[in-house]
Amino acid sequence: MNVPLQYGISGRSASEVATSVERGILEGRIPPGAPLPTVRALAAALRLSAATVAAAYRTLRVRGLVAGEGRRGTRVVLRPPLVVRRPPVAPSGARDLAEGNPDPALLPDLRPALRRLCGRPGLYGAVDPLPELRGLAARHLSADGIPAGALAIVGGAMDGIERVLQAHLRPGDRVVVEDPGYAGVLDLLGAMGLVAEPVAIDDFGVRPDALAAALSPETGAVVLTPRAQNPTGAAFDEARARALRAILDRHPDVLVIEDDHAGPVAGAPAYTVVHARKRRWAIVRSVCKSLGPDLRLAVLAGDATTVARVEGRRSLGTGWVSHLLQAVVASLWSDAAIERRLREAADVYTRRRRALVDALARHGIAAHARSGLNVWVPVREEAATIAAMAAAGWAIRAGEPYRLQSPPAVRITTSTLAVEDAPKVASALAQVLDPARVRTPAA
């Protein structure tokens, strides 16, 4: 590999080399997922010592820009924490079943709640979270068996997960994650310098045998999705939650995080593994899927120490989540009509999801979608499937960003897919895939 010519990497020190690679990623010369040269090859090309290049790569790993992959060498992560311009997922003219958004038609109208705002400006030192929102959140969580004695309001599910991880872990710590799992969580771990330990899942979430095998004295945390798992739609039932709880109870020092990002529109009841856990736990329940992505707010429940650390660190930065947002969410949660609308939205999402799964089954195509807004379809080759579906007028998402060791698949978002259109998508996919392929469930 002619490094200077291909990637434009330069520098006379570890800091300069790291900055050069970062600039190359930012400018698009080094694309996400691209392999970097070996330490020896880059050192030879730049006439530097191997120790200098190794130090540069260490800096890039701490920044979350690259990841070491053993014998595969060092690669740029698929979504480096940089503002890089990317083409839209859906090509022109294709129906977008890739982005993962909720259906705007099923989100509540915010105007009545905005009109009910008192209009008084918030000031430093105001009570946080707002008492009304805190009371409503505690009621919702307690109804699902989740202790709500310690609560914080954060800026969405990912903000909450990041803050909880920061409260307990340090770069190099190991985190057990679902495989396939949410790409945002996998990318976040890389950006924080944490090491992802993949565990296999089935339609009911993380498999107990896989979790038991993955946990060790070196495990720092476990991140689980109790329902609407992205991308597979897996969801706990009571038996699975009980089995996972029994395993985790044997590891009281492991931090347990549950990402309940879809909440009331998940299309599955809430089960938790933490209701009897004494310490090192957190549940993040976002409103972005149910009330709208622009309401960047989530409720975070956890043990007292974890919540105190989250709130203490935030007080040094953003300070609080806007009380205007908190008041809007409290107003929506207090409205019986909104509660009915959320139940109706959950029913619509369930019908759309099941319509596609059933349509695929009629073509002999296995799919996974017990809950949530997505359908996960195992395939032989992701890129060719994505390209062929786009040519047929359907934009779907490759499974690679969601996978660590699990086999290839594609994700189809059904949130806006009308029931009558499901057979069209299934027919197009059937024409793309080899009908004689082996049907195997997702790991």
* pLDDT tens track for 174-222: 999 999 999 999 989 988 888 899 999 999 999 999 999 999 999 999 9
Report yes or no: 21 and 60 within 8 Å, Cβ to Cβ: yes
Does position 416 have pLDDT exceeding 60, yes or no? yes
User: Which range among 59-73, 200-214, 295-309 shows the weakest confidence by mean pLDDT?
Assistant: 59-73
Tell the residue number behind the tokens 């492991």, with chain if given. 254
Can you give the residue ranges of every domain in the chain? 3-76, 95-104+338-432, 120-334
Token pair listed for 287: 């409103």
Does position 362 have pLDDT exceeding 60, yes or no? yes
Q: What architecture is domain 3-76?
A: Orthogonal Bundle (1.10)
Q: Where are the alpha helices (DSSP H) in 31-98?
A: 39-46, 50-62
Does position 290 have pLDDT exceeding 90, yes or no? yes
- The beta strands (E) that lie in 10-96 are given as 66-68, 74-76, 95-96
Specify whether domain 120-334 bears CATH 3.40.50.720: no
Model confidence at 443, in pLDDT bands (50, 70, 90)? very low
Q: What is the mean pLDDT of residues 285-307?
A: 97
Residues in CB range of 222: below 8 A, 6 or more apart: 175, 176, 177, 211, 215, 248, 254, 255, 256, 257
Q: What is the mean pLDDT of residues 343-353?
A: 98
Residue 179 DSSP label: E
* Helix then strand then coil, % of the chain, to nearest 5: 40, 15, 45
Would you identify the CATH topology of the domain 95-104+338-432?
Aspartate Aminotransferase, domain 1 (3.90.1150)
Does position 434 have pLDDT exceeding 80, yes or no? no
Report yes or no: 214 and 432 within 8 Å, Cβ to Cβ: no
Q: Which of 64, 96, 90 is nearest to 77 (CA)?
A: 64
At 440, is the secondary structure helix, strand, or coil? coil
Does position 172 have pLDDT exceeding 90, yes or no? no
Buried b (16+ CB within 10 A) or exposed e, 329-346: bbbbbeeeebeebbeebb
Residue 89's pLDDT is 65
Percent of all residues in the chain with a pLDDT value above 90, rounded to a whole number: 79
Percent of all residues in the chain with a pLDDT value above 70, rounded to a whole number: 94
Predicted model pTM: 0.86
